């Protein structure tokens, strides 16, 4: 009898998602934000994402055997709550709550899960409910899906889970062993988030913007070492400046921030507006450098021995999406292969909790093959969406989609590209994408300014054919998920300038024919026309919106921007005049 395991996330009131395993096979996974059109879906549970998973798998609510959730009780005899209370001495309400009612959020989470399952018709009495510690879920999402054999180092860095912020461990024969954890407020992810707020962005989203801004600045211009240090195996964040709570928080227009007024006194006023200007570009460079420095020191201290033995490292947690850090981790002499779980932030803990539940049930889950795990739509669905849309789109059915779209791209036009199953995780990987020809001057600026309405200095990434990847990226390391930056071969910089960042790197996706045949065929056709086996690829959404999910979402995005062409499966939709 097949074992059906449902993993849910949303434990920390953001990024709820659902993932479904049938025995060892990951059948479906999706984020709630895509269905309800609310970025990060804060304070929601993954109701619609779970409905999708069940419907896609053809299952009934009664078929679920195990529900796994990435949040667990933390006993008072462990160091987690005591560390939190000690470090939050200046906010006695927080400290005392941690000691005397430290599992209140766990209890609230269980109540929310029970309520959602009831809405779905899943009987709490007949399922096994498995709470998994948050960082253990991150660790499982990386290790159990990596496909690595033998002893494997495991790293987890994010804001916080229950109390833990950072995880070091290793996996062997399917079992995860914990070496060391750090606890709130000593959090590198929290520090980066606090500086993200200071630099004028929102936490959860803006960290990518800080990383994109950093190459424009000078990381040596200011000394940020007072913010945090790693000494004698311990991480200590300066809560006089960042990772603050209560009265220490800086407040502006009634909103409290994760940094203090002392930070303002030191660095000047919080950044406003969209420009990347001094001194803020230098601050971005400095915080990125500090984040990299301490992360690498921690890896060296806790994981070097294991890595010198095997060279295999798995990485998850929100900070695993810092692709510049990942580039430097790969450069470490004792790291041979790095697997970054592509939905590394909290959305991916649904995967991790489910994979961990499978492990406990004696099931070895299969390695992650791809992240095309969301809904797909037929040509008939796309036609129906066009006919129902108030703009009454002019559409035509085309026979050779890759060839037709490659010609439009080579002529200098951006194209919205909607096909196949929606991606799981934050990256568009050729199913819900805006595409451009990376050799056409100005196409990146046009997409930033007229289509995505985002900051003009934000970089774009290439999707590249596996046949040119080694020459372009100067490495054979696998890169299917846009989780690393690579130094681009100088010979390619003039060929595809629209996808090369200020520092000469690219966050590339290497595409192979097996996992996304139509996207591969498109890039191949573009190569015939331009000589370059690469396409500019960014997510199909506007600033502040989730990636599109359905044909209706794609049409709304199309008519809410200056996109000239939209391809949905075999349909080409164009605006008048194109």
Q: In 3D, which of 344, 292, 343, 338 has the Cα closest to residue 313?
A: 338
pLDDT of residue 450: 85
DSSP string, 482-515: S---EEPPHHHHTTSGGG--TTSEE--EEE-TTT
Question: Do residues 287 and 189 touch, judged by C-beta distance below 8 A?
Answer: no
Q: Which residues contact 476 (CB under 8 A, 6 or more apart)?
A: 470
What are the DSSP E strand ranges found in 54-127?
Answer: 66-69
Tell me how far apart the alpha carbons of residues 154 and 144 are, in angstroms, rounded to a whole number.
Answer: 11
Q: Which residues contact 49 (CB under 8 A, 6 or more apart)?
A: 16, 17, 18, 30, 31, 32, 34, 35
DSSP string, 226-260: GGEEEETTEEEE-TTTBS--GGGEEEETTEEEEEE
H-run or E-run covering 113: helix 104-120
Set 14, 40, 135, 144: catalytic member: 14
Question: Do residues 96 and 81 touch, judged by C-beta distance below 8 A?
Answer: no
DSSP string, 357-403: HHHHTT--PPPP--SB-S----HHHHHHHHHHSTT--EEEE-S-HHH
Residues of each domain in the chain carrying CATH 3.30.420.40: 4-79+87-147+343-360, 183-340
pLDDT of residue 454: 81
Q: What's domain 183-340's architecture?
A: 2-Layer Sandwich (3.30)
The answer to whether residue 14 is catalytic is yes
Q: In 3D, which of 439, 412, 437, 534 has the Cα closest to residue 495?
A: 439
User: With 0-12 CB in 10 A as exposed, 13-18 as middle and 19+ as buried, what is 369?
Assistant: middle
SS3 content of the chain, % helix, strand, coil (to 5): 40, 20, 40
Tell me how far apart the alpha carbons of residues 196 and 179 are, in angstroms, rounded to a whole number.
Answer: 30
Secondary structure class of 428 (helix, strand, coil)? coil
CATH class name, domain 4-79+87-147+343-360 = alpha beta
Exposed e or buried b for every residue in 138-175, given b needs 16+ CB within 10 A?
Answer: bbbbbbbbbebeeebbbbbbbbbbbbbbbbbbbbeeee
Question: Do residues 105 and 94 touch, judged by C-beta distance below 8 A?
Answer: no
Model pLDDT for residues 233-283, shown as the tens digit of each residue: 999 999 999 999 999 999 999 999 999 999 999 999 999 988 889 999 999
Q: In 3D, which of 30, 19, 18 has the Cα closest to residue 421?
A: 30
Give the Cα-Cα-Cα angle 151, 160, 128 (nearest 5 degrees).
70
Q: Which residues contact 45 (CB under 8 A, 6 or more apart)?
A: 8, 10, 16, 32, 112, 113, 115, 116
Q: What 8-state DSSP symbol labels residue 427?
A: -
Q: In 3D, which of 512, 514, 570, 561 has the Cα closest to residue 538?
A: 561
Q: What 8-state DSSP symbol labels residue 480?
A: S
Show the DSSP H helices in 58-91 as ranges: 79-87
Q: What 8-state DSSP symbol labels residue 450?
A: I
Residues of each domain in the chain carrying CATH 3.90.870.20: 379-574
Please provide residue 180's backbone torsions phi and psi, each rounded to the nearest 5 degrees: -160, 145
Please provide residue 441's backbone torsions phi and psi, each rounded to the nearest 5 degrees: -60, 130
Which CATH number, 3.90.870.20, 3.40.50.11740, 3.40.190.120, 3.40.190.10, labels domain 379-574?
Answer: 3.90.870.20
* Residue 578: both structure tokens together: 């194109």
Please provide residue 503's backbone torsions phi and psi, each rounded to the nearest 5 degrees: -95, 15
What are the Cα distances from residue 442, in Å, to 437, 473, 474, 535? 10, 23, 26, 14
Question: Do residues 132 and 118 touch, judged by C-beta distance below 8 A?
Answer: no
Secondary structure class of 525 (helix, strand, coil)? helix
How distant is the alpha carbon of residue 217 from its chain centre?
24
DSSP string, 397-410: E-S-HHHHHHHHHH
Give the Cα-Cα-Cα angle 261, 266, 268 (nearest 5 degrees).
80
pLDDT of residue 275: 81
Query: Quick check: bond before 185 cis, omega within 30?
Result: yes
pLDDT of residue 147: 96
* Residue 316: both structure tokens together: 């998850």
Question: Is beta strand 66-69 parallel, antiparallel or unpaired with respect to 4-9?
Answer: parallel
Question: Do residues 190 and 159 touch, judged by C-beta distance below 8 A?
Answer: yes
Secondary structure class of 149 (helix, strand, coil)? coil
| Regions of the chain where pLDDT drops below 50 | none
Residues in the chain: 578
DSSP string, 342-358: TTTTGGGHHHHHHHHHH
Q: In 3D, which of 184, 180, 190, 170 has the Cα closest to residue 80?
A: 184
Tell me how far apart the alpha carbons of residues 537 and 520 are, in angstroms, rounded to a whole number.
Answer: 13
Q: In 3D, which of 58, 68, 85 has the Cα closest to residue 128?
A: 68
Longest dimension (CA), the chain: 70
pTM of the predicted protein model: 0.97
pLDDT of residue 430: 98
């Amino acid at each position: 009898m097949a074992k059906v395991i449902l993993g849910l996330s949303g434990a920390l009131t953001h990024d709820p998602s659902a993932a479904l395993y049938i025995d060892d096979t990951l059948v479906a996974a999706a984020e709630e934000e895509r269905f309800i059109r609310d970025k990060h879906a804060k304070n929601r549970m993954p109701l619609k994402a779970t409905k999708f998973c069940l419907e896609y798998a053809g299952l009934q609510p009664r078929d679920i055997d195990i529900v796994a959730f990435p949040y667990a009780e933390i006993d008072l005899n462990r160091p987690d709550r005591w560390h939190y209370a000690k470090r939050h001495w200046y906010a006695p309400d927080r400290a005392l709550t941690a000691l005397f009612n430290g599992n209140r959020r766990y209890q609230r989470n269980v109540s929310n899960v029970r309520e959602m399952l009831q809405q779905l018709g899943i009987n709490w009495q007949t399922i096994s409910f498995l709470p998994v510690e948050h960082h253990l879920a991150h660790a499982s999402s990386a290790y159990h899906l990596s496909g690595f054999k033998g002893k494997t180092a495991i790293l987890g860095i994010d804001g916080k889970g229950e109390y833990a912020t950072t995880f070091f461990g290793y996996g062997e024969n399917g079992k995860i062993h914990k070496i060391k954890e750090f606890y709130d407020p000593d959090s590198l992810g929290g520090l980066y988030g606090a500086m993200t707020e200071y630099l004028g962005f929102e936490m959860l989203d803006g960290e990518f913007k800080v990383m994109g801004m950093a190459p424009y600045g000078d990381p040596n211009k200011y000394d940020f070492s007072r913010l945090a240090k790693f000494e004698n195996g311990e991480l200590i964040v300066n809560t006089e400046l960042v990772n603050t709570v209560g009265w220490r928080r800086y407040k502006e227009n009634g909103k409290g921030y994760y940094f203090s007024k002392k930070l303002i006194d030191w660095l000047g006023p919080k950044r406003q507006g969209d420009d990347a200007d001094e001194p803020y570009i230098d601050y971005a460079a400095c915080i990125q450098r500090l984040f990299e420095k301490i992360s690498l020191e921690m890896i060296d201290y806790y994981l070097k021995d294991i890595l010198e033995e095997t060279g295999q490292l798995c990485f998850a947690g929100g900070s695993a999406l810092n692709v510049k850090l990942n580039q430097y981790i790969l450069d470490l002499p004792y790291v041979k292969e790095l697997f970054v779980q592509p939905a590394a932030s909290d959305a991916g803990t649904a995967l991790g909790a489910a994979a961990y539940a499978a492990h406990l049930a004696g099931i070895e889950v299969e390695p992650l093959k791809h992240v095309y795990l969301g809904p797909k739509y037929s040509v008939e669905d796309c036609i129906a969406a066009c006919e129902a849309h108030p703009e009454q789109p002019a559409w035509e059915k085309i026979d050779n989609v890759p060839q037709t779209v490659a010609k439009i791209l080579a002529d200098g036009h951006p194209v919205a590209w909607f096909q196949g199953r929606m991606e799981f995780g934050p990256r568009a990987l050729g199913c819900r994408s805006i595409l451009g020809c990376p050799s056409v001057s100005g196409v990146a600026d046009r997409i930033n300014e007229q289509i995505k309405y985002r900051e003009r200095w934000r970089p774009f990434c290439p999707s590249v054919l596996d046949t040119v990847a080694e020459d372009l990226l100067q490495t054979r390391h696998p890169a299917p998920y846009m989780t690393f930056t690579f130094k681009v071969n100088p010979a390619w910089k003039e060929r595809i300038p629209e996808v090369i960042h200020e520092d000469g790197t690219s966050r590339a996706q290497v595409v192979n024919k097996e996992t996304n045949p139509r996207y591969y065929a498109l890039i191949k056709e573009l190569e015939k026309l331009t000589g370059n086996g690469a396409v500019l690829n960014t997510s199909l959404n506007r600033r502040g919106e989730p990636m599109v999910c359905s044909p209706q979402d794609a049409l709304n995005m199309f008519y809410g921007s200056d996109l000239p062409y939209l391809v949905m499966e075999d349909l080409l939709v164009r605006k008048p005049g194109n």
